[in-house]
Homo-oligomer: A and B are copies of this chain.
């Protein structure tokens, strides 16, 4: 199964599970269930038996497809990154004025973070405490960098790496704040905050 299909699976319902199916479909279902569970309850708040059960399988099946719990997390993360880039890429590819596109890119980011804020929080915690996940995380980030650079070249703007990275960080952090209620706790106006983000993006597009 290609990456695209799996990424798709994160969003859509899979066909009803047959008693015995092709390995990729089983794995797919497990990844989808795990993504949901991690996002909902956090990495340490879920257990592998439950993930298996929610995917429609018995505990043992889980370990036929992943060496351990960490492994599903890694798989979920991989899909998650792929999906984000697909969405951002698709948005940038659509026609429209620069204003329109900036607006849309911010929208995609915010939506993605809102949807996966629980997962992202676990990700950051694991990156900090787990060597293997940290390494994996950095590989993903490097991939993002490559794609980012390509996009910059495409739009014929001189890429100032640090400046662009900072923009990414700002959007990402603000997206988290909007997603997890922090913005409200700080009594920030959602519309204004969003407008500021759009302006920042626009400036670099």
For A180, list chain B residues within 8 Å (CB).
127-128, 134
B169/A177 in contact, CB under 8 A: yes
How far, in angstroms, from A161 to B142 measured CA to CA in the complex? Answer: 34
A42/B125 in contact, CB under 8 A: yes
Copies in the complex: 4
Interface SS majority for chain A: helix
B187/A145 in contact, CB under 8 A: yes
- Judged by a CB distance under 8 angstroms, whether A103 is at the interface is no
How far, in angstroms, from A196 to B66 measured CA to CA in the complex? Answer: 43
Question: Which residues of chain A (92-128) have a CB below 8 Å from chain B?
Answer: 117-118, 120-122, 124-128
How far, in angstroms, from A180 to B124 measured CA to CA in the complex? Answer: 10
